[in-house]
Structure 1
C-alpha cells in the first residue's frame, strides 16, 4: 500500500513541476523576458530561473516574486487555477524616482536621448571593443 501511495505522489510531483516550468516559460515569452532579465527583476541568479523551468524541483522560495514579475499568481504557476489573471496583482505604479528620470529624458533633445541610450546600453551590456576604446572616457563639464 505504501508503494502505491508513493507512486501516486511521485507522479503528482512530476506533474506539478511540469506545470510550473511550462507556465513560467509561457508567461516569460508573453512578457518578452529572458531568464536573465526575469532573474534580475526577481533578485536571484539566472540559474535559479533555469532550475524553476527545467528541473524536477517543486516550486521555489521565490515563486511569489516570480509570479508578481510575470503579472500572475503563484496559484496559476503551480496549476491550482487555470486563469493567469485571477487575483493577479496590478502592475506596479511608476515610482517618483522613475518619474523624475522620465522627465529628465523628455527634456533632452534627440541627440541627447540617443547619447543617453548608448550610455545606458553600455552600462547594461558592457563596452563593445572599438579601435579607440582604450582612449574612451566620460568627463563632466566641471572638469
Structure 2
C-alpha cells in the first residue's frame, strides 16, 4: 500500500511540473520576455507548450540508392527510356554550363594576372576598396583551381 501511495505521489508531482505555465510579456522598450514567474503590473499572456513529435530519421544515401534501384526495376521500358534521356540531357546541360563557366574563369585569370590594381566593392556597405597582394594571390589560386575543375 505504501508503494502505491509513493507511486501516486510521484505521478502527481511530475504531472504538476509538466503543467508549469510560461508567461510572455513586452517591456517598456518593446522587448518580448518569457519566464515561469508572472511579473507584477504588466499584462501577460500564457504560452501554450506542446509536446514535440518524434521525427523519422532521414534516409541515408545507401537507402536512397537502394530505393532508386528498386524503382528502376518497376519502370516500364518507356519510362526507363525517358529516365535515361532526362539523365543524358541533364549531363549535356551541365557540360554546356561548365564550358561557359570555364571561359569566364579564364577571362578572370587573365584579368587578375594583367591588371595593376583590382578594385572590389563591399556588398554590405557599398564601399569600394583595392585588393592587397595576399588576397590577390588567393584569388589567383582559387581561379586556377576553378579552371582545373571546369576546363577538363
TM-score strictly above 0.5: no
- Structure 1 or 2, whichever has the larger Rg, is 2
TM-score normalised by the chain length of structure 1: 0.25
Higher strand share: 2
Task: Tell me: higher relative CO, structure 1 or 2? Use CA pairs within 8 A at least 6 residues apart.
Answer: 1
Q: TM-score, length-normalised on structure 2?
A: 0.23
Between Structure 1 and Structure 2, the one with more helix by share is: 1
